């Protein structure tokens, strides 16, 4: 662990270390730890903080991810601040508890280091784990770089534990591309983080399961009561959109970094064409946009930072009236033409003022979303804007898929 500050408070650390340090700064009461590639460094770092006394939490070194989620869910419902981390198969192995945590409205914060989950056991990046759990009822946030991992984890506690929200939050970041990337990260002072989180202490206390109180959680509900709770869950999710925007603003005031809340818009205002993406690919897309802008091509990026609840109002606002929109998915949706995020955005097509939509699938199974690939996506989106015939779906790194289309 880097302990010597470089200049003021910047350290060159991995995305995993950023997540671990952010967790430490949030002062959780209970952390559950179980290793899985590419998340392992997160829990190693936390274990090291715990061993040295730098982190005063109950560290539960569980025997599997399912127990990790169950333990932090219970600790959260008892009143604690909690943290855990997982990835791919780990997230899937805790899936029943992931659903239960959301349904119980336990404000758990965790990071999920995105990794593939098909039966071909791929130790490689991809967002299929996130997509496969998208409607568990959690708030899903996605980071682009190591600094954003740090900042999103801190913001997550404000969002999850907010009295008006009380929902679990999962911060996603790309395995390998971010988990193992070392770059400069500004590490806030403990007092600043304490100040940022102290707002929660001034709010009413949420219900906590304590001995001797006639209280229960996990009640077996049916019919009307169940409907009521589910509807409350949906409305809390909807409320979290504006809350996240507001927290981002407040974060900017304290930490001098702002991301735009649900979406980050990069050079979209005058853009004819926009790519929609999420996670680490957005950094690469921005670097290509910078080059294309020098050539006078009016291309922008909308980065999805909040994926659940789906920020459709903000997306419509950002994309309305553009000529063409290319959506980049790092995962698959079966039975649909196009990637999952493309498919979801497509539902709002009639509200986009005639903007045409096209789907790009890339970056699955660790294939790199290269600058060349991004240039191809921009070219195809430009062709679509010019009224040329562009296939609805393109597997950018797998041209054979595009030839095979329609064949059995």
Partner 1 sequence: MAEKNKARLTKVLDYLKYDDPFSKGVSFCPGCGLELLLRFIPRVLGNDIIITGTPSCSAPVLLGQNKQSWHTLSYFGTLMTGAAANATGLVRYYKKAGIDNTVVCFNGDGTANDIGFGNLSGAAERNEPFIYICYDNEGYMNTGIQKSGTTPYGATTTTTPYGTVHKGKNLRRMNLGVKMAMNKIPYTATATLSDLEDLAKKLLKAKKAKERGFCFLHVFAPCPTGWGANPADTIEICRQAVKTNYFPLWEAENGKIRMTKTVKKPKPVSNYTKLMKKFNHMTEADLEILQEDVEYETCLLGGLSVLEAECQLPVSAQD
Partner 2 sequence: MSEVRFHGRGGQGVVTTSKILANAFARTGQFGASFPMFGFERRGAPVTAFGRFSDKPVKEKTQIYNPNILVVLDPSQKNSPAVFDGLVPGGMLLINDKKNKGDIRHENLRKLAMVDANGIAMEEIGLPIPNTVVVGAFAKMSGLLDIDPVLEALADYFSGKKLDANRVCAKRGFEEVTTVDL
**Binder of partner 1 out of 37, 40, 47, 67 (CB under 8 A):** 67
58 binds partner 1 (CB under 8 A): yes
SS3 317: helix
Q: Which does 77 bind (CB under 5 to 8 A by kind): partner 2, partner 1, none?
A: partner 1
Residue 328's Cβ-count burial label (10 Å; 0-12, 13-18, 19+) is buried
Distance CA 294, CA 261 (A): 28
Strand-pairing partners, residue 111, are 85, 171
Q: Which does 219 bind (CB under 5 to 8 A by kind): partner 2, partner 1, none?
A: partner 1
SS3 300: strand
102 binds partner 1 (CB under 8 A): no
Q: Which does 287 bind (CB under 5 to 8 A by kind): partner 2, partner 1, none?
A: partner 2
Minimum Å gap between C-beta 285 and partner 2 is 9
Minimum Å gap between C-beta 49 and partner 2 is 16
The nearer residue to partner 1, 121 or 208, going by C-beta atoms, is: 208
The nearer residue to partner 2, 67 or 182, going by C-beta atoms, is: 182
Q: Count the neighbouring beta carbons within 10 Å of the beta carbon of residue 267.
A: 16
220 binds partner 1 (CB under 8 A): yes
Distance CA 254, CA 171 (A): 21
**Binder of partner 1 out of 13, 21, 46, 74 (CB under 8 A):** 74
387 binds partner 1 (CB under 8 A): no
Q: Count the neighbouring beta carbons within 10 Å of the beta carbon of residue 309.
A: 21
Angle between helical axes of 95-103 and 223-255 (0-180°, round to 10): 90
Q: Can you give the binding site for partner 2, defined by CB under 8 A? A: 2-4, 6-7, 10-12, 123-125, 144-145, 174, 176-178, 180-184, 280-281, 283-284, 286-287, 290, 366, 368-371
Structure tokens at 279: 């996670």
The nearer residue to partner 2, 287 or 402, going by C-beta atoms, is: 287
Q: Which does 192 bind (CB under 5 to 8 A by kind): partner 2, partner 1, none?
A: none
197 binds partner 1 (CB under 8 A): no
SS3 labels along 221-289: CCHHHHHHHHHHHHHHHHHHHHHHHHHHHHHHHHHCCCCCCCEEEECCCCCCEEEEECCCHHHHHHHHH
400 binds partner 1 (CB under 8 A): no
Is there a cis peptide before residue 5, judged by omega within 30 degrees of 0?
no
98 binds partner 1 (CB under 8 A): no
Provide the binding-site residues for partner 1, judged by CB under 8 A: 29-30, 32, 57-58, 60-64, 66-80, 82, 96-97, 100, 209-222
């Amino acid at each position: 662990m880097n302990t010597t500050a470089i200049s003021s408070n910047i350290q060159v650390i991995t995305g995993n270390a950023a997540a671990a340090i952010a967790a430490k700064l949030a002062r959780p009461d209970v952390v559950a730890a179980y290793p899985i590639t590419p998340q392992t460094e997160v829990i190693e770092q936390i274990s090291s903080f715990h061993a040295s006394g730098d982190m005063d939490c109950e560290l539960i070194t569980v025997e599997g991810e399912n127990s990790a989620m169950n333990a932090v869910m219970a600790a959260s419902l008892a009143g604690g601040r909690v943290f855990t981390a997982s990835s791919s198969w780990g997230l899937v192995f805790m899936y029943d508890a992931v659903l239960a945590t959301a349904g119980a409205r336990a404000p758990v914060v965790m990071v999920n280091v995105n990794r593939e989950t098909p039966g071909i056991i791929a130790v490689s990046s991809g967002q299929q784990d996130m997509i496969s759990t998208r409607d568990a009822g959690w708030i899903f946030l996605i980071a682009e770089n190591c600094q954003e991992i740090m900042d999103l984890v801190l913001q997550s506690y404000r969002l999850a534990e907010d009295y008006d929200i009380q929902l679990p939050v999962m911060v996603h970041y790309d395995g390998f591309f971010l988990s193992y990337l070392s770059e400069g990260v500004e590490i806030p002072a403990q007092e600043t983080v304490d100040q940022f989180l102290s707002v929660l202490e001034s709010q009413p206390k949420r219900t906590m399961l304590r001995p001797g109180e006639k209280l229960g959680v996990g009640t077996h509900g049916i019919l009307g009561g169940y409907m009521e709770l589910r509807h409350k869950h949906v409305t809390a999710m909807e409320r979290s959109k504006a809350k996240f925007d507001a927290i981002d603003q407040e974060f900017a005031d304290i930490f001098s970094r702002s991301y735009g809340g649900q979406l980050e818009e990069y050079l979209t205002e005058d853009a004819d064409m926009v790519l929609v993406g999420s996670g680490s690919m957005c950094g690469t897309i921005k670097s290509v946009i910078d080059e294309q802008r020098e050539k006078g091509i009016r291309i922008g990026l909308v980065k999805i930072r909040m994926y659940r609840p789906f920020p459709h109002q903000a997306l419509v606002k950002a994309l309305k009236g553009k000529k063409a929109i290319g959506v980049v998915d790092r995962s698959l949706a079966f039975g649909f033409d196009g990637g999952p995020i493309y498919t979801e955005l497509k539902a709002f097509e009639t509200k986009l003022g005639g903007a045409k939509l096209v789907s790009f699938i890339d970056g699955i199974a660790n294939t790199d979303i290269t600058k060349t690939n991004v240039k191809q996506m921009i070219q195809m989106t430009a062709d679509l804007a010019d009224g040329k015939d562009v296939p609805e779906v393109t597997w950018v790194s797998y041209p054979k898929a595009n030839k095979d289309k329609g064949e059995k």
